[in-house]
Structure 1
């Protein structure tokens, strides 16, 4: 079993914090942090939670830190009671539904599809994607999806940047690390391009049933929930990047508003 001190030191290294940095942030002495890492001091529950907060650890990792200290997990690893989760699920449903006629979907931290509104379902159906499928796997190996992306190489490069950012936030994750490695290989094989001045918005350019759609995305997620699954959920709301795309989506999906 990994010791509390070992887990704490590993995450301090991930966040690139010295013992003094963490001590100042958590308002304790650097000597105390050192004693916690070497096992000379045993942390209280409040201290473990404070250190997890200062290290910005994901909720699941904070549970592991508590377990390493011999303490019970603090965050729900299983589904909340229906009554407790209902407001969260209603918020997800409301946002996805109200975003029509524009596509919107919900993915977990491994980019697995968990929910989508009818416009998003229609857009992805041409590639055979359904709930429970991984968007990362699809981008790497789904020939229909790859063929539908006019700017595939640009999407791969931008997705790689996003995955790296998410991995940096999570600290470590075998699934995302493997995805980064796969996309790094693809992006490295692409010819170097002089992109010049970057535009304000870099859309994903789809071919959809003979139509051209240019969409950009915004991301939302819960920041004040103790439920691991809901804290890891991301809502991706797609918007038209030009007027022709807006007109097509309004014509196709206005009935879903």
Structure 2
């Protein structure tokens, strides 16, 4: 049911996403089963799209679910995609799957993050890693992985190869953003991090090179010990809920046998 007359903002939003995806009006019309003339009329406010057409246009542009709700609202319709909280009954199966993934990855660290890289869940391995790095202080709430790794603090101080990790981590954040586009809060966080003089120096320094492998190797100093880890980020393949689409599972793996042996000794000794 139409909730209100279409807002002129809808045309601006549609034009924005068309620009993001580098679609011409012809490209979008073809993908959505419409005509360039109709797309032009919608963008200028001369035509009011139906709810079905808003969804078709959003799908054609691969707009993230949260932003699809925004398009629907701007067009005068109620949101279509639910936004259930992690831990709610609606996401019980998702929560169960995440808990199983975290448990199965023990003793190595694994965390569940939202699209802004805030930690929502952590297994014992991750709690041990970050607990050791931050001790005697507790893990901040919220714990943001980008800020912990890039801003000055005990975690960054323990990263022995920080000058190569920081650029790679920021590149990964952009590459793995939902729909390939930062939301406003994450975009602002990344902007602030990139504008730091120390970060800017390593982003533009002569030592910046393309990674030789498709993962980020991180060397942590844990007291007198060094552990070398790399991580893999997973997402939910076909979500119909906004929260589920934005979840990220980052699992850390030992990069070599020495780290594997060291980590097993640490976890066996309780840290």
Q: Would you call these one fold, judging by a TM-score over 0.5?
A: yes
Deviation at 1:57, TM superposition (A): 1.0
Q: 1:16 to 1:148 in 2, by over 3 A?
A: same
Aligned length in residues: 256
Picking from 5, 12, 20, the partner of 2:18 is: 12
Picking from 215, 234, 241, the partner of 2:255 is: 241
* Residue-by-residue CA offset, 1:140-189 (whole Å, 9 max, x unaligned): 33410111100011110101211222458353422222233234333431
In structure 2, what is the Cα distance between the partners aligned to 1:12 and 1:213? 44
CA contact (8 A) 2:174 2:182 kept: no
Aligned to 1:193: 207
> TM-score, length-normalised on structure 1?
0.90
In the alignment, structure 1 residue 99 sits paired with structure 2 residue 105: yes
In structure 1, what is the Cα distance between the partners aligned to 2:178 and 2:171? 11
CA contact (8 A) 2:215 2:231 kept: no
Alignment of 1:85-96 (within 5 A): 85-96=91-102
Aligned to 1:61: 67
In structure 1, what is the Cα distance between the partners aligned to 2:71 and 2:238? 20
Q: 1:196 to 1:217 in 2, by over 3 A?
A: closer
Q: Gaps spanning 5+ residues in structure 2: where? A: 1-6
Q: 1:208 to 1:255 in 2, by over 3 A?
A: closer
> TM-score, length-normalised on structure 2?
0.85
CA contact (8 A) 1:101 1:254 kept: no
CA contact (8 A) 1:5 1:37 kept: yes
Deviation at 1:228, TM superposition (A): 1.3
When the two chains are superposed, the root-mean-square deviation of aligned CA atoms in Å is: 2.4
Aligned to 1:154: 164
In structure 1, what is the Cα distance between the partners aligned to 2:215 and 2:187? 27
In structure 2, what is the Cα distance between the partners aligned to 1:121 and 1:35? 54
Q: Gaps spanning 5+ residues in structure 1: where? A: none
Q: 1:137 to 1:243 in 2, by over 3 A?
A: same
Aligned to 1:232: 246
Question: Tell me, what secondary structure is at the counterpart of 1:236?
Answer: strand
In the alignment, structure 1 residue 45 sits paired with structure 2 residue 59: no
In structure 1, what is the Cα distance between the partners aligned to 2:103 and 2:68? 33
Q: Which moved more, 1:37-46 or 1:92-101?
A: 37-46
Alignment of 1:69-88 (within 5 A): 69-79=75-85, 82-88=88-94
Q: 1:194 to 1:18 in 2, by over 3 A?
A: closer
Question: Tell me, what secondary structure is at the counterpart of 1:216?
Answer: strand
CA contact (8 A) 2:87 2:95 kept: no
Aligned to 2:266: 252
Question: Tell me, what secondary structure is at the counterpart of 2:164?
Answer: helix
